[in-house]
Amino acid sequence: MNDFLVRGMTADGFVKITAVETTQLVERARQIHKTLPLATAALGRTLTAVSMMGNELKYDKGSVTLQIRGDGPLGAITTVSDSEGNVRGYLQNPAANLPLQANGHLDVGNGVGEGLLTVIKDIGEREPFTGRIELQSGEIAEDVAAYYVLSEQIPTVCALGVLVDRDQSVKCAGGYLLQLLPGAPAGLVDLLEYRVQDVGSITANLEKGLNMRQVVEELLYGMGLQLMEEHPVSYECKCSRQKVESALISMGREELQKLIDEEEKTSVTCQFCDVIYDFTREDLVDLLKVQKS
């Protein structure tokens, strides 16, 4: 089944939910970056979260960047989503490894460590909006929920799950963001907390054969859930030769001249998809001309 995102609201208008199934796109990220399980889980959770954050944007040419910068062995994780929920991302140390936790789970919290979570929302006007909080646990779901509470004052439950198979491929992955809107009665929080516990972990549900729409329906059972959106999402890099040329030009005359003097051939690798763009000396001389005019 292809990855997809669903968005809905309860009939009383107090609960908003976004959920996404990301098995394919997390597997794609694993293949591109050759991540070991710990990094697959950390990058996969972050990609899942940013997909839902991007989908919230009202501006259809916008993007959301979610960066997790901790002091653990995984290093910085950078992910970007467009306004549909299509994502790309990378992390510093794809081969980082730690022993499993006592419960058999990957130790993402210690892999990430202590540090900052940053959200940059580019909505195509003036300065992008930037919000930043200290990481709470490094497990990512808790950190994303805390971001919404502390930075946007929206009571939020975030769940993210990536299950890595024995052959290190991604068996299943997904997540949801459950948010309360202003005026929600206090009792609703207790009910939702109960439901979240009762429904259980995302990967357990996906492994059972449910999809994320069914998980959403269980979470909000009997509350008049109305689905407003459902569409596929994927791992999508937006790089192009033209963008790489612009980046080379923006390095400035001196740097470009230095490359021309010293290198027969210059290769630029896209960090998001590992595609390599090759430039001959003549190509760069042409770029320098563009830079001059």
Binding site for Zn ion (CB under 5 A): 237, 239, 270, 272-273
**Closest approach of Zn ion to the CB of residue 28, in Å:** 12
Choice between 172 and 270, CB closer to Zn ion: 270
Choice between 77 and 270, CB closer to Zn ion: 270
**Closest approach of Zn ion to the CB of residue 82, in Å:** 14
Sign of CA dihedral 201, 10, 227, 42: negative
**Closest approach of Zn ion to the CB of residue 170, in Å:** 20
Percentage helix, strand, coil, to 5, in the chain? 35, 30, 35
**Closest approach of Zn ion to the CB of residue 247, in Å:** 12
Choice between 272 and 279, CB closer to Zn ion: 272
- The C-alpha angle 139, 231, 189, rounded to 5 degrees, equals 45
Rounded Cα distance, 206 and 173, in Å: 8
| Residue 224: other Cβ atoms inside 10 A | 11
Confirm if 51 and 86 have CB atoms less than 8 A apart. Answer: yes
Residue 251: C-alpha distances to residues 262, 270, 275, 288 (Å):
16, 16, 20, 11
**Closest approach of Zn ion to the CB of residue 236, in Å:** 9
Choice between 268 and 288, CB closer to Zn ion: 268
Choice between 156 and 271, CB closer to Zn ion: 271
Sign of CA dihedral 110, 143, 38, 122: negative
